[in-house]
Every structure is written in C-alpha cells, then in structure tokens.
Chain A
Amino acid sequence: MTMPFGYVSPEQVMKDRADYARKGIARGRAVLVMTYADGILFVAENPSSALHKISEIYDRIGFAAVGKYNEFENLRVAGVRMADLRGYSYDRRDVTGRALANTYAQILGTIFSSGGDKPFEVEITVAEVGETSATDQLYRLTYDGSVADEQDIVVMGGSADSIGNALREGHRADLPLDEGLRLAVSALTNADGENREIAAASLEVAILDRTRPRRTFRRLPDAAVAQSLGAS
C-alpha cells in the first residue's frame, strides 16, 4: 500500500502541536503559585501593572497563567462568567475550583486535538484556598488539557524547573507570608544560576487569604511587596 502524498502520522501531528505550544510557553517569564501558612501566594514577574497574569475568579479561587495573553485572558473571562453564573443560580459555596479546572481541561483538550486550529500556548493554575492548609488545592492545566493536582508548589513558564527546585528546598507548610514572598522572589531572581535584580514594581503579587471573610483574593501593592522584601 502506498501512503498518500503529504501523509503525516497522528503521532507526528500531536508531537508537532505539543512542541509548538511548549515553545510558546517557555518563552515567557515564570509565574509561581505556592501555599503559605494563611493561604496561597501568587508571584509573577510582570512589568505591566494593567495586563495581569494573576487574577481573582471567585471568593476562594484564584487564576494564574503564562503564555499568550489573549488566549489565557479568554479562558479567564470565561471562568469568571462560569463562576459568577454558578454562584448566582445556586449559592456562593457551590463554586469550586475542581469544576473550573475540569471545564478548562475540556476546553484546552478539545482545542489541542481538534484538526484545524492551533493549540493554545498557555499553561494555567487554578488555586482554591481551603478552610485549613490541608484543604488547599492547586490544579495545574497544560496546553493539551492535562490536569494535575499539585502539592504546595506550581511553577509555570521559563526556567520552571530551576525555580521549582529552589522553592521546594525552602518551602514549609507554616511559612509566614513575608518569608514565603522572600523565598519566591529569591527563587525567581536566581533562576538558572543567574542573579538578576527584580524591582518590586515589576512583580505582580497576590494572595488568597483564608483569614479574610468572603472574597479572599487580594493584590499586594508595590509598597507592601518592597517592605516585605526589605525586612529580611
């Protein structure tokens, strides 16, 4: 039997698509998500103060992403709509990170394996803060729709491995916020053995703080970040 002209095996197609997406994601600066004593900390190197990589989805759910802005922004807005619709038609407590992660997985998976479109060049973390640190959830979603339920730390984007290793060395479940933030920033600045300076103004920092009532998401202003970093 002869192969038709231009035949490419499905394995090759999927591999090409995966390579394409991975390259796009690794180009960007890293975003990290980690648990600390009172909740979940998000840190991203992001010189823009208007185009966010980290955002609030619902009372206890946060969103972090790397890759192409327009693609993850689309997913973020859909997530906010889904969460608000669910909270409005049922109850605020019925909005869960798991449901959101599942929906994102379906969307990403369908786009990855559908023939025509290019895959999304994004990686996403959906974080849900629990009543206690034992019930904190971190879901990591990759461009092909795979979901992983991660423990304590997720690093996405460029130099993810090196930053992840540095974080895992210093991480404890009872880490206070200040200390957690210093650990995160030192892991970002020392990624891949280089030693760069990152000004507080080019860091995007937010937390899901379980001690706050109702909406737990809060952005930390530059001044607060600089103060935490200075007080070492």
Chain B
Amino acid sequence: MDLSDGLTLPAAFFMPGTSSFSDFLANHSPDLLPGKRLQAGVASMTVEAPHGTTIVAIAHTTGVILAGDRRATMGNVIAQRDMEKVFQADEYSAVGIAGTAGVAVELVRLFQVELEHYEKIEGVTLSLEGKANRLSLLIRNNLPMAMQGLAVVPMFAGYDLEVTDPAAAGRIFSYDVTGGRYEERKFHSVGSGSVYARGALKKLYRDDFSESDAVLSSVHALYDAADDDAATGGPDLTRRIYPVITSVTAAGFRRLGDDEVAGITEQVVNERMEHPGGPQAPLQ
C-alpha cells in the first residue's frame, strides 16, 4: 500500500531497501547534499573560502590517534585560529579534514548522520571498511565542487572491532578528491603541512608506540608542520590554543582534554627551546 497517499510524509520516508541517510536525502531533498548545489554558469568561477590544513594519524599498540592543528587560512590571511578539524565519526572512529573548511564541515556532519542512521535502521554498526567506503562515496559526490576549487580531503581512522590483535586494530584511511580510498600503514598526514609532518613521523615512529608515545609524536609532527608551512598553526601558548587530539581504542572514542593536551604541548615547546629541530633520531 502506498503510505504517502494524502499523508504528512512523502513517499521517500517509506521507501524500503535503503539504510543510507545520503540516499534518502538524494531522493527526498537533494538540495541538502553538499556538492549538489553547483549551478549552471558558475562552473568557471572560483570562490575564495577558508582552508583547513594539517591532520596526522598514528596507529599504536592499542588503537589509533588522530590529531590536527587549529588554523584556517584564506589566501594570506588567518581566517580562524581555533578551528576544529578533527571530529568523532561514531563510537569507534574519527575523521579529520583538510581542504575547504565550509564544505568539509558539512561533509563530516553528513558522514556522522550517515553512520548513526545506518546503525539505528539496521540495529548493527557498519564494518570499518564499510564506513571508509561510505566516506569515499560522499567525497566522490563532491567532485564537481572540487573542480571549482572547493576540494575536501579527509582522513579517517578507526578501531576495527573484527581484528583480534589490538596492535593491528587501529587503521588509517586517506582519500583523494575523486573519492579514491587508500589504507595507510602505521601513520599518515594530509593537508598543506603534511609533507613536514610526515617527515617528522618517519623519524619518530616506532612499532612499539603506546598511546601516549603516539600523542607526543603527533604534537611534534604538527609543530614541525607549523615550523615550515605558513598555513599550519603552531601551538598558541598565549591564547591557550592547542592541537585537537582524539584517540580511538577498544574502549571507544575519546577526545583528550584541554589540560592534558596543554601539558604535552608545553613540554614539547620547552624541549624545542633546547633543540629547535625537535628530538634527534640516532644516526646508527
């Protein structure tokens, strides 16, 4: 029977067979989807909008951490100095964003609802790959906007509950603007300062990293990114603005408290007073 006959809710609300919120939106109110608002005639224009920058992810022996700096830039101007670019995706995953801030934040919001919606309708959560693939699709749908210069490049990290060994359960996925999805081993970084952050992590990373080692090295990596990339913000001790650091383990998602991050950041800054280049790796 057609439940929508003369009813308050349109047929899309009763459509069987889909557990996806973005599919529902595409059917019911496509204008709410990011990337569907491209209008004819503006395709050749470029828009200047705030950009978010560096995100790092590091897997460790009990899970994975995802951290990001706080700066958003618009050309040579700092658009925001306390922006948050790392978010909880669901109970066992986190997502960080680099690229056009406005579109990216909207994309994350949609992704969060997408995961929760599936969980509520199906009664079970998606697998970690399922979540990563879903994010891929959302990015692919944004391709027309990316071609106008409004690109979003997220990084996704989560704890895979189907993996029995906790040292292998923290997994990291990176993306390109076309929605290509790549699983990364051990650590990865995206955004304008990622080259420097990745260089730092290459020297700092050890296979037996605990969560606190990973957190400390993420602050070092972000410091190095800010050191050489103007668009990445370093720790702002005078305003007490520190990186956002999140952790996902078997116990679920956790965002480190401001006091905790403040302590670690101050420690890193003090060390840098002695060695501006950061910890020195043994040559042999």
Contacts and interface: CB of A to CB of B under 8 A. Distances in A.
A88 B32 contact: yes
Contacts of A57: 120
Contacts of A14: none
Given A103-B8, A107-B8, A114-B5, A78 B13 contact: yes
Given A84-B113, A88-B32, A88-B109, A77 B121 contact: yes
Interface string A97-127: 0000001001100110010010000000000
B205 interface: no
A78 B25 CA distance: 13
Interface string B1-14: 10101111100111
Question: Would you call the interface of chain B mostly helix, strand, loop, or mixed?
Answer: helix
A94 B110 CA distance: 17
B182 interface: no
A106 B8 contact: yes
Contacts of B113: 84, 87-88
A52 interface: yes
Given A55-B120, A74-B14, A88 B7 contact: no
Given A55-B120, A80-B120, A103-B9, A85 B1 contact: no
B118 to A, nearest CB: 10
Contacts of B263: none
B209 interface: no
Nearest to B6: A110
A128 interface: no
Given A77-B121, A78-B14, A84 B9 contact: no
B119 to A, nearest CB: 8
Nearest to A103: B8
Contacts of A110: 5-7
A80 B260 CA distance: 37
A111 B13 contact: no
Interface residues of A, number: 24
A115 B14 CA distance: 20
Contacts of B117: 80-81, 84
A216 B120 CA distance: 13
A81 B3 contact: no
Contacts of A77: 13-14, 16, 121
Contacts of B7: 106-107, 110
Contacts of B1: 117
Contacts of B25: 85, 88
Nearest to A217: B120
B120 A88 contact: no
A78 B16 CA distance: 10
B31 to A, nearest CB: 10
A17 B66 CA distance: 58
A131 to B, nearest CB: 22
Contacts of B267: none
A229 interface: no
Contacts of B8: 103, 106-107
A114 B12 CA distance: 21
B90 to A, nearest CB: 10
A84 B116 contact: yes
B123 A55 contact: yes
B3 A88 contact: no
Given A81-B24, A85-B25, A87-B113, 10 more contacts: A74-B16, A80-B121, A81-B28, A81-B117, A84-B117, A88-B32, A88-B109, A107-B8, A114-B5, A215-B116
23 contacts: A50-B123, A55-B123, A74-B3, A74-B16, A77-B14, A78-B3, A78-B9, A78-B14, A80-B117, A81-B13, A82-B9, A82-B13, A84-B21, A85-B24, A85-B28, A85-B29, A85-B32, A88-B32, A107-B7, A107-B9, A110-B5, A110-B7, A117-B1
**Top 7 nearest A-B pairs by Cβ distance?**
A78-B13, A106-B8, A80-B120, A84-B117, A117-B1, A88-B113, A81-B13
